[in-house]
């Protein structure tokens, strides 16, 4: 998703509000927050101490990618009420 679509979604008029991709942008926003939480949990010292073999950069990158995909699925399936509340909090500009 490029910045042009984000900027256009944030500066909506009432007539184009229903036809925009605000929902998609909001889902991406919530998924990024959720994946950040998952990544931070894995960086916790309690979890790091239980590893016999140190984690490589490739393994860390793969886990972050899996967390992002998992967060995207969770948002689309279970977090729609949160997405709708965020959309309601930012009404279209008049």
Does residue 7 sit within a domain? no
Does residue 46 sit within a domain? yes
Does residue 11 sit within a domain? no
39: three-class secondary structure by DSSP: helix
pLDDT for 3: 54
Per the CB < 8 A criterion, the answer to whether 38 and 70 are in contact is yes
Number of domains present in the structure of the chain: 1
Q: Which domain holds residue 78?
A: 21-89
Taking the chain, what is the end-to-end CA distance rounded to the nearest angstrom?
25
Does residue 68 sit within a domain? yes
pLDDT for 21: 77
Question: What is the average pLDDT value for the chain, to the nearest integer?
Answer: 77
pLDDT for 58: 86
Q: To the nearest whole percent, how much of the chain has pLDDT over 70?
A: 69
Look-up of token digits 């990618």: 65
Does residue 5 sit within a domain? no
Residue 10 binned pLDDT confidence (cut-offs 50, 70, 90): low
- Checking if the pLDDT of 19 tops 50, the result is no
**Gap between the Cα atoms of 73 and 75, Å rounded:** 5
Does residue 77 sit within a domain? yes
Does residue 69 sit within a domain? yes
Please tell me whether the overall predicted TM-score, pTM, comes out greater than 0.75 for this model: no
């Amino acid at each position: 998703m490029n910045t042009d679509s984000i900027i256009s979604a944030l500066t909506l008029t009432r007539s184009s509000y229903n036809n925009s991709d605000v929902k998609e942008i909001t889902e991406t926003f919530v998924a990024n927050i959720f994946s950040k939480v998952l990544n931070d949990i894995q960086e916790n010292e309690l979890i790091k101490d239980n590893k016999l073999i140190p984690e490589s950069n490739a393994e860390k990158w793969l886990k972050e990618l899996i967390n992002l995909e998992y967060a995207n699925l969770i948002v689309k399936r279970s977090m729609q009420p949160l997405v709708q509340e965020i959309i309601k909090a930012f009404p279209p500009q008049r």
